[in-house]
């Protein structure tokens, strides 16, 4: 390997900073997914290692945003477990099929909405006064 070049290895693209490395990694992962046994941890570990090294998302890897150290430690423990590829997935059906009660929503209008409400109220008051006052345009 010449100086300045990175050696290609599983889980790491051949050239650091190569914009096509994620595309090549994704193609390699798709190829290996068709050949490797998805039931063995060795096959899944190899695919996962390539995906993480190439920074691509696959069905066996994910892009996770960790907020604090406790979450990072929990992810590290889960990554070492024997059932690391058997994760529970949320379908989102729970959120869409059981909406909350509509009257429990407590919303505060924004300043623009307050201005609009005041203008409507003012227009209503002006209209009601105009209907109550007799016209004084007739000469006496």
101-121 pLDDT, tens digit per residue, is 666 666 777 888 989 999 999
pLDDT at 11 over 50: no
In this prediction, residue 123 carries a pLDDT of 97
| Residue-number span of the structural domain to which 82 is assigned | 1-86
Mutual orientation of helices 41-54 and 21-35 as an angle, nearest 10°?
A: 170
In a domain, 65, yes or no: yes
In this prediction, residue 128 carries a pLDDT of 92
In a domain, 35, yes or no: yes
In a domain, 131, yes or no: no
Number of domains in the chain: 1
Helix (H) or strand (E) holding 6: none
For the entire predicted model, the pTM comes to: 0.39
In a domain, 95, yes or no: no
- With contact defined as beta carbons under 8 Å apart, do 50 and 27 qualify? no
Confidence of residue 41 (pLDDT cuts 50, 70, 90): confident
In a domain, 15, yes or no: yes
Q: What are phi and psi of 12, to 5 degrees?
A: -140, 130
How far apart, in Å, are the Cα atoms of 119 and each of 7, 45, 77? 70, 64, 59
Confidence of residue 2 (pLDDT cuts 50, 70, 90): very low
In a domain, 105, yes or no: no
In a domain, 111, yes or no: no
Which residues, at least 6 apart from 64, have a Cβ–Cβ distance to it below 8 Å?
A: 75
């Amino acid at each position: 390997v010449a100086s300045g070049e990175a050696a290609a290895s599983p889980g790491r693209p051949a050239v650091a900073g190569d914009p096509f490395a994620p595309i090549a990694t994704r193609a390699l992962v798709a190829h290996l997914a068709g050949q490797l046994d998805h039931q063995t941890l060795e096959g899944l570990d190899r695919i996962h290692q390539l995906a993480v090294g190439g920074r691509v998302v696959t069905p066996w890897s994910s892009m996770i945003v960790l907020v604090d150290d406790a979450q990072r430690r929990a992810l590290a423990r889960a990554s070492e477990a024997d059932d690391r590829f058997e994760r529970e997935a949320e379908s989102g059906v729970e959120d869409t099929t059981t909406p909350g009660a509509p009257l429990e929503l407590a919303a505060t209008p924004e300043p623009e909405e307050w201005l609009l409400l005041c203008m409507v109220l003012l227009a209503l008051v002006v209209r009601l006064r105009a209907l109550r006052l007799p016209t004084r345009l007739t000469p006496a």
